[in-house]
Amino acid sequence: MPYHTLLEGILGRGIMANWRYSMNTIITHILTRRSVRSFTEEQIRDEDLDLILQAATLAPNGMNQEPWHFTAIQDPETLRKLEEKVDGTADSFFYHAPTLILVSIEIGNAYEKEDTACAMTNMMQAAHALGLGSVWCNRINHDPKLGVQLSSFGVPEGYKVTGTLAVGYPKGAYSSPRIPKQGTITYIRS
Amino acid sequence: MPYHTLLEGILGRGIMANWRYSMNTIITHILTRRSVRSFTEEQIRDEDLDLILQAATLAPNGMNQEPWHFTAIQDPETLRKLEEKVDGTADSFFYHAPTLILVSIEIGNAYEKEDTACAMTNMMQAAHALGLGSVWCNRINHDPKLGVQLSSFGVPEGYKVTGTLAVGYPKGAYSSPRIPKQGTITYIRS
Protein backbone atom coordinates (compact mmCIF):
# COMPACT_ATOMS: atom_id res chain seq x y z
CA MET A 1 0.00 0.00 0.00
CA PRO A 2 1.78 3.13 -1.23
CA TYR A 3 0.24 5.35 1.42
CA HIS A 4 1.75 3.27 4.21
CA THR A 5 5.13 3.20 2.61
CA LEU A 6 5.12 6.92 1.99
CA LEU A 7 3.92 7.94 5.40
CA GLU A 8 6.20 5.48 7.16
CA GLY A 9 9.10 7.05 5.36
CA ILE A 10 8.10 10.49 6.54
CA LEU A 11 7.04 9.69 10.06
CA GLY A 12 8.92 6.59 11.06
CA ARG A 13 7.17 3.45 12.05
CA GLY A 14 6.13 4.57 15.53
CA ILE A 15 3.07 6.50 14.56
CA MET A 16 1.96 4.06 11.90
CA ALA A 17 1.83 1.38 14.56
CA ASN A 18 -1.24 3.11 15.90
CA TRP A 19 -3.41 2.18 13.00
CA ARG A 20 -6.53 3.40 14.79
CA TYR A 21 -5.64 6.96 13.71
CA SER A 22 -6.26 5.99 10.12
CA MET A 23 -9.33 3.98 11.01
CA ASN A 24 -10.81 7.08 12.56
CA THR A 25 -10.21 9.07 9.39
CA ILE A 26 -11.99 6.48 7.33
CA ILE A 27 -14.93 6.23 9.71
CA THR A 28 -15.18 10.02 9.83
CA HIS A 29 -15.35 10.09 6.06
CA ILE A 30 -18.00 7.40 5.90
CA LEU A 31 -20.14 9.23 8.46
CA THR A 32 -19.83 12.67 6.86
CA ARG A 33 -20.79 11.79 3.27
CA ARG A 34 -23.77 13.79 2.03
CA SER A 35 -25.51 13.89 -1.32
CA VAL A 36 -24.38 16.81 -3.46
CA ARG A 37 -26.76 18.38 -5.98
CA SER A 38 -24.78 21.41 -7.12
CA PHE A 39 -21.55 21.10 -9.05
CA THR A 40 -18.89 23.34 -10.54
CA GLU A 41 -18.18 23.03 -14.26
CA GLU A 42 -14.72 21.60 -13.67
CA GLN A 43 -14.34 18.04 -14.92
CA ILE A 44 -13.07 15.48 -12.40
CA ARG A 45 -9.57 14.03 -12.83
CA ASP A 46 -9.24 10.90 -14.94
CA GLU A 47 -7.48 9.08 -12.10
CA ASP A 48 -10.29 9.94 -9.70
CA LEU A 49 -12.89 8.59 -12.11
CA ASP A 50 -10.85 5.41 -12.40
CA LEU A 51 -10.77 5.02 -8.62
CA ILE A 52 -14.50 5.58 -8.33
CA LEU A 53 -15.15 2.95 -10.99
CA GLN A 54 -12.72 0.56 -9.31
CA ALA A 55 -14.69 1.00 -6.11
CA ALA A 56 -17.81 0.07 -8.07
CA THR A 57 -16.32 -3.08 -9.53
CA LEU A 58 -15.05 -4.15 -6.12
CA ALA A 59 -18.34 -3.64 -4.29
CA PRO A 60 -20.01 -6.55 -2.54
CA ASN A 61 -22.54 -8.28 -4.78
CA GLY A 62 -24.81 -11.29 -4.63
CA MET A 63 -22.93 -14.57 -5.12
CA ASN A 64 -20.11 -12.51 -6.63
CA GLN A 65 -21.75 -12.73 -10.04
CA GLU A 66 -20.70 -9.15 -10.90
CA PRO A 67 -23.68 -8.84 -13.27
CA TRP A 68 -23.06 -5.14 -13.75
CA HIS A 69 -21.76 -2.60 -16.21
CA PHE A 70 -20.65 0.96 -15.56
CA THR A 71 -20.88 3.60 -18.26
CA ALA A 72 -19.12 6.85 -17.42
CA ILE A 73 -20.34 9.68 -19.65
CA GLN A 74 -18.31 12.89 -19.73
CA ASP A 75 -19.02 14.05 -23.27
CA PRO A 76 -21.32 17.10 -23.00
CA GLU A 77 -23.09 16.31 -26.28
CA THR A 78 -23.87 12.75 -25.18
CA LEU A 79 -25.11 14.04 -21.83
CA ARG A 80 -27.33 16.55 -23.63
CA LYS A 81 -28.82 13.82 -25.83
CA LEU A 82 -29.45 11.61 -22.81
CA GLU A 83 -31.15 14.49 -21.05
CA GLU A 84 -33.52 14.82 -24.01
CA LYS A 85 -34.58 11.20 -23.67
CA VAL A 86 -35.61 11.54 -20.04
CA ASP A 87 -39.21 12.54 -19.49
CA GLY A 88 -40.39 15.06 -17.01
CA THR A 89 -37.20 16.89 -16.26
CA ALA A 90 -37.74 20.61 -16.14
CA ASP A 91 -34.04 20.95 -15.43
CA SER A 92 -31.07 18.59 -15.65
CA PHE A 93 -31.95 15.29 -13.99
CA PHE A 94 -28.32 14.93 -12.95
CA TYR A 95 -27.92 18.51 -11.77
CA HIS A 96 -25.56 19.49 -14.63
CA ALA A 97 -22.79 17.34 -13.16
CA PRO A 98 -19.79 17.01 -15.51
CA THR A 99 -19.74 13.22 -15.10
CA LEU A 100 -22.65 10.81 -15.06
CA ILE A 101 -22.15 7.11 -14.36
CA LEU A 102 -24.89 4.75 -15.54
CA VAL A 103 -25.11 1.52 -13.56
CA SER A 104 -26.75 -1.29 -15.49
CA ILE A 105 -27.41 -4.90 -14.54
CA GLU A 106 -28.02 -8.03 -16.62
CA ILE A 107 -31.76 -8.29 -17.07
CA GLY A 108 -33.22 -10.98 -14.83
CA ASN A 109 -30.57 -10.98 -12.13
CA ALA A 110 -32.15 -11.67 -8.74
CA TYR A 111 -29.95 -9.16 -6.93
CA GLU A 112 -30.27 -6.29 -9.41
CA LYS A 113 -31.32 -3.70 -6.84
CA GLU A 114 -28.99 -4.80 -4.07
CA ASP A 115 -25.97 -5.03 -6.37
CA THR A 116 -26.74 -1.62 -7.83
CA ALA A 117 -26.96 -0.03 -4.41
CA CYS A 118 -23.77 -1.67 -3.15
CA ALA A 119 -21.85 -0.38 -6.17
CA MET A 120 -23.47 3.05 -5.84
CA THR A 121 -22.58 3.29 -2.15
CA ASN A 122 -18.98 2.28 -2.79
CA MET A 123 -18.77 4.91 -5.53
CA MET A 124 -20.35 7.61 -3.36
CA GLN A 125 -17.91 6.86 -0.55
CA ALA A 126 -14.96 6.83 -2.95
CA ALA A 127 -16.04 10.14 -4.49
CA HIS A 128 -16.39 11.67 -1.03
CA ALA A 129 -12.96 10.41 -0.02
CA LEU A 130 -11.53 12.13 -3.12
CA GLY A 131 -13.12 15.47 -2.24
CA LEU A 132 -15.84 15.07 -4.86
CA GLY A 133 -19.60 15.22 -4.52
CA SER A 134 -22.14 12.77 -5.90
CA VAL A 135 -25.82 11.98 -5.86
CA TRP A 136 -27.91 8.99 -6.93
CA CYS A 137 -30.35 10.10 -9.64
CA ASN A 138 -33.29 7.76 -10.22
CA ARG A 139 -34.96 9.29 -13.24
CA ILE A 140 -33.79 6.73 -15.82
CA ASN A 141 -34.40 3.62 -13.74
CA HIS A 142 -37.86 4.86 -12.79
CA ASP A 143 -38.77 4.61 -16.47
CA PRO A 144 -38.89 0.86 -17.27
CA LYS A 145 -38.89 1.42 -21.03
CA LEU A 146 -36.06 3.88 -21.13
CA GLY A 147 -33.74 1.80 -18.95
CA VAL A 148 -33.45 -0.91 -21.57
CA GLN A 149 -33.10 1.38 -24.59
CA LEU A 150 -29.76 2.99 -23.98
CA SER A 151 -27.37 0.84 -25.99
CA SER A 152 -26.41 3.92 -27.99
CA PHE A 153 -25.27 5.41 -24.67
CA GLY A 154 -22.86 2.62 -23.81
CA VAL A 155 -25.25 0.32 -21.96
CA PRO A 156 -24.70 -3.29 -23.12
CA GLU A 157 -27.54 -5.16 -24.83
CA GLY A 158 -29.35 -7.33 -22.31
CA TYR A 159 -28.68 -4.93 -19.47
CA LYS A 160 -30.98 -2.34 -17.94
CA VAL A 161 -30.07 0.85 -16.17
CA THR A 162 -30.80 0.49 -12.45
CA GLY A 163 -29.27 3.69 -11.13
CA THR A 164 -27.19 6.67 -12.18
CA LEU A 165 -24.61 8.64 -10.23
CA ALA A 166 -23.84 12.31 -10.87
CA VAL A 167 -20.27 13.21 -9.90
CA GLY A 168 -18.35 16.46 -9.76
CA TYR A 169 -16.76 19.05 -7.51
CA PRO A 170 -19.30 20.40 -5.02
CA LYS A 171 -20.33 23.99 -5.65
CA GLY A 172 -20.62 25.88 -2.37
CA ALA A 173 -20.13 24.53 1.14
CA TYR A 174 -20.39 20.80 1.75
CA SER A 175 -23.45 19.95 3.86
CA SER A 176 -23.02 19.28 7.58
CA PRO A 177 -23.39 15.68 8.69
CA ARG A 178 -26.99 14.52 8.63
CA ILE A 179 -28.70 13.98 11.98
CA PRO A 180 -30.21 10.53 11.61
CA LYS A 181 -33.74 9.66 12.70
CA GLN A 182 -33.74 8.55 16.32
CA GLY A 183 -34.98 5.21 17.60
CA THR A 184 -33.75 3.13 14.69
CA ILE A 185 -31.37 0.91 16.69
CA THR A 186 -32.08 -1.97 19.09
CA TYR A 187 -29.36 -3.83 21.00
CA ILE A 188 -29.85 -7.35 22.32
CA ARG A 189 -26.99 -8.14 24.63
CA SER A 190 -26.49 -10.79 27.27
CA MET B 1 -13.08 16.28 13.47
CA PRO B 2 -11.07 14.86 16.37
CA TYR B 3 -8.67 12.96 14.11
CA HIS B 4 -7.58 16.15 12.40
CA THR B 5 -7.10 17.98 15.65
CA LEU B 6 -5.11 15.13 17.13
CA LEU B 7 -2.85 14.58 14.17
CA GLU B 8 -2.31 18.28 13.59
CA GLY B 9 -1.12 18.51 17.17
CA ILE B 10 1.38 15.73 16.65
CA LEU B 11 2.60 16.54 13.19
CA GLY B 12 2.06 20.23 12.69
CA ARG B 13 -0.12 21.63 9.96
CA GLY B 14 2.31 21.07 7.08
CA ILE B 15 1.60 17.44 6.45
CA MET B 16 -2.13 17.78 7.01
CA ALA B 17 -2.22 20.27 4.19
CA ASN B 18 -1.68 17.39 1.83
CA TRP B 19 -5.04 15.86 2.37
CA ARG B 20 -4.59 13.45 -0.52
CA TYR B 21 -2.52 11.21 1.76
CA SER B 22 -5.64 10.52 3.79
CA MET B 23 -7.79 10.20 0.71
CA ASN B 24 -5.52 7.44 -0.50
CA THR B 25 -5.89 5.56 2.77
CA ILE B 26 -9.64 5.71 2.51
CA ILE B 27 -9.71 4.63 -1.10
CA THR B 28 -7.32 1.79 -0.33
CA HIS B 29 -9.64 0.62 2.39
CA ILE B 30 -12.69 0.80 0.18
CA LEU B 31 -10.96 -1.21 -2.53
CA THR B 32 -9.59 -3.90 -0.23
CA ARG B 33 -12.77 -4.86 1.63
CA ARG B 34 -13.64 -8.53 1.29
CA SER B 35 -16.41 -10.62 2.75
CA VAL B 36 -15.29 -12.57 5.82
CA ARG B 37 -16.91 -15.90 6.67
CA SER B 38 -14.74 -17.10 9.55
CA PHE B 39 -14.60 -15.29 12.88
CA THR B 40 -12.83 -15.58 16.20
CA GLU B 41 -14.96 -15.92 19.32
CA GLU B 42 -13.92 -12.50 20.61
CA GLN B 43 -16.80 -10.05 20.82
CA ILE B 44 -16.33 -6.72 19.03
CA ARG B 45 -15.92 -3.54 21.08
CA ASP B 46 -19.05 -1.65 22.04
CA GLU B 47 -17.69 1.55 20.49
CA ASP B 48 -16.97 -0.23 17.21
CA LEU B 49 -20.52 -1.60 17.08
CA ASP B 50 -21.80 1.92 17.69
CA LEU B 51 -19.71 3.27 14.80
CA ILE B 52 -20.91 0.53 12.46
CA LEU B 53 -24.52 1.29 13.36
CA GLN B 54 -23.91 5.02 12.94
CA ALA B 55 -22.60 4.29 9.46
CA ALA B 56 -25.84 2.42 8.78
CA THR B 57 -28.07 5.26 9.95
CA LEU B 58 -26.08 7.76 7.87
CA ALA B 59 -26.18 5.75 4.64
CA PRO B 60 -27.78 7.25 1.55
CA ASN B 61 -31.43 6.24 1.23
CA GLY B 62 -34.35 6.97 -1.08
CA MET B 63 -35.87 10.41 -0.45
CA ASN B 64 -34.14 10.34 2.96
CA GLN B 65 -37.13 8.53 4.44
CA GLU B 66 -34.87 6.41 6.69
CA PRO B 67 -37.47 3.63 6.73
CA TRP B 68 -35.09 1.25 8.46
CA HIS B 69 -34.35 -0.39 11.76
CA PHE B 70 -31.14 -2.05 12.90
CA THR B 71 -31.18 -4.81 15.49
CA ALA B 72 -27.77 -5.76 16.81
CA ILE B 73 -27.84 -9.18 18.49
CA GLN B 74 -24.88 -10.20 20.61
CA ASP B 75 -26.60 -12.43 23.16
CA PRO B 76 -25.55 -16.04 22.38
CA GLU B 77 -28.87 -17.48 23.56
CA THR B 78 -30.86 -15.13 21.30
CA LEU B 79 -28.58 -15.96 18.39
CA ARG B 80 -29.09 -19.67 19.07
CA LYS B 81 -32.87 -19.26 19.07
CA LEU B 82 -32.74 -17.28 15.84
CA GLU B 83 -30.62 -19.97 14.26
CA GLU B 84 -33.29 -22.53 15.11
CA LYS B 85 -35.92 -20.53 13.25
CA VAL B 86 -33.95 -20.47 10.01
CA ASP B 87 -34.65 -23.36 7.68
CA GLY B 88 -32.07 -25.23 5.76
CA THR B 89 -28.94 -24.31 7.63
CA ALA B 90 -26.75 -27.30 8.20
CA ASP B 91 -24.39 -24.96 10.02
CA SER B 92 -24.66 -21.41 11.37
CA PHE B 93 -26.19 -19.18 8.70
CA PHE B 94 -24.09 -16.30 10.03
CA TYR B 95 -20.88 -18.30 10.33
CA HIS B 96 -20.89 -18.23 14.17
CA ALA B 97 -20.11 -14.51 14.18
CA PRO B 98 -20.35 -12.98 17.67
CA THR B 99 -22.52 -10.12 16.40
CA LEU B 100 -25.41 -10.26 13.94
CA ILE B 101 -27.14 -7.10 12.74
CA LEU B 102 -30.65 -7.49 11.33
CA VAL B 103 -31.63 -4.79 8.86
CA SER B 104 -35.38 -4.34 8.55
CA ILE B 105 -37.45 -1.92 6.46
CA GLU B 106 -41.01 -0.64 6.83
CA ILE B 107 -43.19 -2.98 4.80
CA GLY B 108 -44.25 -1.40 1.53
CA ASN B 109 -41.35 1.03 1.15
CA ALA B 110 -40.49 1.43 -2.54
CA TYR B 111 -36.74 1.51 -1.91
CA GLU B 112 -36.53 -1.40 0.51
CA LYS B 113 -33.79 -3.25 -1.36
CA GLU B 114 -31.75 -0.21 -2.30
CA ASP B 115 -31.87 1.27 1.21
CA THR B 116 -30.93 -2.06 2.74
CA ALA B 117 -27.93 -2.42 0.46
CA CYS B 118 -26.74 1.14 1.03
CA ALA B 119 -26.85 0.65 4.80
CA MET B 120 -25.20 -2.75 4.49
CA THR B 121 -22.38 -1.37 2.33
CA ASN B 122 -21.74 1.50 4.72
CA MET B 123 -21.61 -0.98 7.61
CA MET B 124 -19.31 -3.34 5.72
CA GLN B 125 -16.94 -0.48 4.92
CA ALA B 126 -17.04 0.79 8.51
CA ALA B 127 -16.34 -2.69 9.88
CA HIS B 128 -13.42 -3.08 7.49
CA ALA B 129 -12.02 0.30 8.49
CA LEU B 130 -12.12 -0.85 12.13
CA GLY B 131 -10.19 -4.02 11.39
CA LEU B 132 -13.30 -6.20 11.60
CA GLY B 133 -14.75 -8.62 9.09
CA SER B 134 -18.33 -8.88 7.92
CA VAL B 135 -20.54 -10.68 5.45
CA TRP B 136 -24.08 -10.17 4.18
CA CYS B 137 -26.15 -13.25 5.03
CA ASN B 138 -29.37 -13.63 3.05
CA ARG B 139 -31.00 -16.60 4.71
CA ILE B 140 -33.67 -14.72 6.66
CA ASN B 141 -34.70 -12.32 3.91
CA HIS B 142 -34.93 -15.18 1.41
CA ASP B 143 -37.77 -16.57 3.56
CA PRO B 144 -40.71 -14.17 3.08
CA LYS B 145 -42.66 -15.59 6.04
CA LEU B 146 -39.81 -15.55 8.51
CA GLY B 147 -38.74 -12.00 7.71
CA VAL B 148 -41.93 -10.53 9.14
CA GLN B 149 -42.13 -12.78 12.21
CA LEU B 150 -39.17 -11.62 14.22
CA SER B 151 -40.66 -9.07 16.59
CA SER B 152 -39.45 -11.20 19.50
CA PHE B 153 -35.94 -10.65 18.10
CA GLY B 154 -36.11 -6.87 18.19
CA VAL B 155 -37.57 -6.27 14.72
CA PRO B 156 -40.35 -3.63 14.95
CA GLU B 157 -43.91 -4.57 14.03
CA GLY B 158 -44.64 -3.51 10.46
CA TYR B 159 -41.04 -4.05 9.38
CA LYS B 160 -39.51 -6.97 7.51
CA VAL B 161 -35.94 -8.22 7.61
CA THR B 162 -34.27 -7.42 4.30
CA GLY B 163 -30.69 -8.37 5.09
CA THR B 164 -28.42 -9.45 7.93
CA LEU B 165 -24.77 -8.68 8.56
CA ALA B 166 -22.45 -10.97 10.49
CA VAL B 167 -19.62 -9.05 12.17
CA GLY B 168 -16.54 -10.11 14.12
CA TYR B 169 -12.77 -10.34 14.09
CA PRO B 170 -11.56 -12.26 11.04
CA LYS B 171 -10.10 -15.67 11.83
CA GLY B 172 -7.03 -16.32 9.72
CA ALA B 173 -5.56 -14.12 7.04
CA TYR B 174 -7.71 -11.45 5.43
CA SER B 175 -8.39 -12.25 1.76
CA SER B 176 -6.38 -10.50 -0.94
CA PRO B 177 -8.19 -7.85 -2.95
CA ARG B 178 -10.65 -9.36 -5.41
CA ILE B 179 -9.74 -9.18 -9.10
CA PRO B 180 -12.89 -7.78 -10.65
CA LYS B 181 -14.43 -9.15 -13.83
CA GLN B 182 -12.95 -7.40 -16.85
CA GLY B 183 -14.90 -5.46 -19.46
CA THR B 184 -17.46 -3.94 -17.10
CA ILE B 185 -16.55 -0.30 -17.74
CA THR B 186 -17.28 1.94 -20.73
CA TYR B 187 -16.05 5.54 -21.01
CA ILE B 188 -17.77 8.09 -23.24
CA ARG B 189 -15.52 11.14 -23.44
CA SER B 190 -15.42 14.07 -25.80
| Span B45-101, pLDDT tens digits | 999 999 999 999 999 999 999 999 999 999 999 999 999 999 766 789 999 999 999
Taking all residues of chain B, what is their mean pLDDT, rounded to a whole number? 90
- Identify any residues that bridge with A166 across adjacent strands, giving them in sequence order: A100, A135
Identify which of A148, A112, A128 has the alpha carbon closest to the alpha carbon of residue A52.
A128
Task: Give the other-Cβ count within 10 Å of B26's Cβ.
Answer: 24
Instruction: Kindly give the confidence (pLDDT) of every residue in chain A, 190 residues in length, as a single tens digit, with 9 standing for 90 and above.
Output: 343 444 444 444 444 444 565 667 899 999 999 999 999 999 999 999 999 999 999 999 999 999 999 999 999 999 999 999 987 667 899 999 999 999 999 999 999 999 999 999 999 999 999 999 999 999 999 988 888 889 999 999 999 999 999 999 999 999 999 999 999 999 999 9
| Span A19-71, pLDDT tens digits | 565 667 899 999 999 999 999 999 999 999 999 999 999 999 999 999 999 99
Contact status of B138 with chain A (Cβ, < 8 Å)? yes
Torsion region of A65: left, alpha or beta (phi above 0 gives left; psi -120 to 50 gives alpha): alpha
Could you tell me the pTM of the whole model?
A: 0.89
Contact status of A123 with chain B (Cβ, < 8 Å)? no
Contacts of B77 in chain A (CB under 8 A): 190
What does the pLDDT read at residue B144? 83
Residues of chain B below pLDDT 50 = 1-18
Identify which of A2, A33, A60 has the alpha carbon closest to the alpha carbon of residue A128.
A33
- Strands A185-188 and B68-73 come out as parallel
A121: number of CA atoms within 13 Å, CB side? 31
d(CA A163, CA A141): 6
* Alpha-helical runs (H) found in chain A: 2-11, 13-17, 20-32, 46-57, 76-85, 112-129
φ/ψ (deg, to 5) at A51: -65, -40
Contact status of A60 with chain B (Cβ, < 8 Å)? yes
ipTM of the complex model: 0.89
Q: Which of residues 144-163 of A touch B (CB under 8 A)?
A: 153-154, 163
Determine the length of chain B. Answer: 190
What does the pLDDT read at residue A36? 98
- Strands A159-168 and A99-106 come out as antiparallel
Q: Sign of torsion, CA B168 B169 B174 B177?
A: positive
Contacts of A163 in chain B (CB under 8 A): 114
Determine the length of chain A. Answer: 190
Identify which of B101, B111, B107, B11 has the alpha carbon closest to the alpha carbon of residue B51.
B101
